Amino acid sequence: MATFHYSGSSFYYNDQPIRLISGAIHYFRTVPEHWQDRLLKLKACGFNTVETYVPWNLHEPKKGQFQFEGMADIVRFIEQAGELGLHVIVRPAPYICAEWEFGGLPSWLLADSDMRLRCYHQPFLDHVDAYYDVLLLKLKPLLCTNGGPIIALQIENEYGSYGNDKRYLIYLKESMISRGMDVLLFTSDGPEDSMLQGGMIPGVLETVNFGSRAVEAFEKLREYQPDAPVMCMEYWNGWFDHWREEHHTRPAEDVANVLDEILDLNGSVNFYMFHGGTNFGFFNGANGHTFDSYEPTTTSYDYDALLNESGEPTPKYYAVREVISKYVELGACELPAPIAKKAYGRVDMTEQASLTVNLDRISAPIHSAYPETMEKLGQDYGFIHYSTFITGPRPKDEFFIQDLHDRAQVFLNGQLVGTLDRAEPEVKLEFDVPAEGLHVSILVENLGRVNYGPFMKDRKGITEGARYGRQFLSDWTTYTLPFTDLSGLVFEGLSEQVDPSFFRGTLVVDEPCDTFLNMKGWTKGVVFINGFNLGRYWNIGPQQTLYVPGPLLKESNNEIVIFELYGATDYSVTFVDQPELG
């Protein structure tokens, strides 16, 4: 057993003063086979603590169905950290932000049209309680008070940036305490009056999040909490990327200087991120700061962190270690052996399967008067296909998808006529209808639910309806396409691509190593290797390669399946040994 607490301006572990030098590593953004490598590199850099969020939607993908295996094995991740002598900070709030899909909230919450999020709304709290009953039971043996490495737990996350429902925050606090969470509880918020006023509750340590101006941030925190240690719970030493942007970077010298300032002020710190990792599958989030804005996050969560996406130390790593050495006596930098990277070269796609032809093989038709959202149909992520018929003749008019979430390809009699995107509201689609009428098909992609701010209630698909002119269209057939099981696809030889299609090829490997899949020549889509969803690619950048951890590969044949929405200049891919972020 151990204790972690604070008195005055200092933290204490077993009554010995301690300064926390922590770094964020998300177990769910790194394959389990690489967890120890990342944790060893954290320790070698001079850190004594690792911090991680806990995404509710990963652990309870369907209501009442829990998973804690593979990349979701949080217990094993925390145990590995403890075995290396690291303390652990866990942030298991219902909401985590983290540029993660829906801020970690499960999408099935939105099937309830009356659901209220992140507040004292009893149906929401009932779901949180059911989640806590399972999750916190797993964390309890890992608390330092029970001999484990967990020293602190967070209540909610940056709540003052969202609301001021203190009754809700106190409910979460009491929910943790009643389930035996007898370690230090804390909150974290931006160092601004409104955020601190909205996010603080009695009896819980407040911390602040910032990327610069440490003196000002800690001064503001001390105005509200004068008799406690100061800690930056999120030191933003890099940043994340949206599609259509340049890759974000921050000079190592600048990061080191701000860290020096934090430590000189006797502050504790948690680097966000120490290792960013990857938004595998459809788990990337999005930003929507206004009703009309929408910016989805890339698959890569490199974050320009101390370790890059594939876990290699960057110049920032060594600059930070040098600063830490001013305050902590460090020995030699003993890094684990580098994880092998390999360029496997070109792989041709040899087979093709049309989505249209295969709809009934990988999904089942649903008939409804009007389009339903993914959530209403029990779908979490991926794509959704709608179709209907417009009678004719009709003169040219505009075709509207009312409140589209997020991006739709529109087909008339099987021919692509345009793409509508909520991020490009200026794009219009007009056509006339011949006497024989038109079959309209719409493939909508969920590009990631908003993870931060006031517009998080981000239902996906056609959320209001589709209109031709002023007339709403009815009598729809819908196919849900989460792409969790593609075994029903029937592949044939390559042919001219006329609709969104799957392509298949084989990578032959003699030695499984980390590698990067270069998607140059392809337009937009998703890649699967041996059934594992690597994530999205999009030629608008900044991301040009997809990280492929070696443990996903096997000796001999590896199946590559690409779902391409538009077409490619060359139906082949190249495996390289270096990432490319434009």
Predicted confidence (pLDDT) per residue in 214-249, tens digit: 999 999 999 999 999 999 999 999 999 999 999 999
Q: Is 334 a catalytic residue?
A: no
Q: Is 158 a catalytic residue?
A: yes
Look at residue 31 and give its three-state secondary structure.
coil
Q: How confident is the model at residue 110 (pLDDT cuts 50, 70, 90)?
A: very high
582 pLDDT above the threshold of 80? no
CB contact at 8 A, 305 and 312? no
pLDDT reported for residue 292 = 77
pLDDT reported for residue 289 = 80
pLDDT exceeding 70 applies to what percent of the chain? Answer: 100
Q: How far apart are CA 131 and CA 135, in angstroms?
A: 6
Please identify, in words, the CATH class of the domain defined by 4-324. Answer: alpha beta
Q: Which two tokens stand for residue 433?
A: 């209808």
pLDDT of 45-82, one tens digit each?
999 999 999 999 999 999 999 999 999 999 999 999 99
Q: How far apart are CA 268 and CA 240, in angstroms?
A: 23
pLDDT reported for residue 291 = 75
Total residue length of the chain: 582
User: From the candidates 158, 372, 375, 445, which is the catalytic residue?
Assistant: 158
pLDDT reported for residue 197 = 98
34 pLDDT above the threshold of 80? yes
Q: How high does pLDDT run on average in the chain?
A: 97
Phi-psi region of 552 (alpha: psi -120 to 50; beta: other; left: phi over 0): alpha
- The dihedral of CA 411, 412, 417, 421: what is its sign? negative
User: From the candidates 51, 206, 234, 295, which is the catalytic residue?
Assistant: 234
Residue whose C-alpha is closest to residue 29's, from 264, 373, 311: 311
Given the candidates 1.20.120.790, 3.40.50.720, 2.30.30.140, 2.60.120.260, the CATH classification of the domain at 370-474 is 2.60.120.260
Domain ranges, ordered by start, for the chain? 4-324, 345-354+486-576, 370-474
- The dihedral of CA 17, 264, 216, 250: what is its sign? negative
pLDDT of 374-398, one tens digit each?
999 999 999 999 999 999 999 999 9
Residue whose C-alpha is closest to residue 358's, from 536, 485, 475: 485
pLDDT reported for residue 96 = 98
For the packed helices 74-83 and 35-44, what is the interaxial angle rounded to 10 degrees?
Answer: 40
147 pLDDT above the threshold of 90? yes
CB contact at 8 A, 359 and 479? yes
pLDDT of 119-143, one tens digit each?
999 999 999 999 999 999 999 999 9
pLDDT of 446-499, one tens digit each?
999 999 999 999 999 999 999 999 999 999 999 999 999 999 999 999 999 999
| CATH fold match for the domains 345-354+486-576 and 370-474 | yes
Strands 476-481 and 295-296: unpaired
pLDDT reported for residue 580 = 86
pLDDT reported for residue 290 = 79
CATH architecture of 345-354+486-576: Sandwich (2.60)
CB contact at 8 A, 567 and 523? yes
pLDDT of 288-331, one tens digit each?
987 778 999 999 999 999 999 999 999 999 999 999 999 999 99
pLDDT reported for residue 500 = 98
CB contact at 8 A, 515 and 310? no
Burial classification of residue 64, based on how many CB atoms lie within 10 Å of its CB (0-12 exposed, 13-18 middle, 19 or more buried): exposed
Q: Report the 10 Å Cβ neighbour count for 394.
A: 17
Phi-psi region of 159 (alpha: psi -120 to 50; beta: other; left: phi over 0): alpha
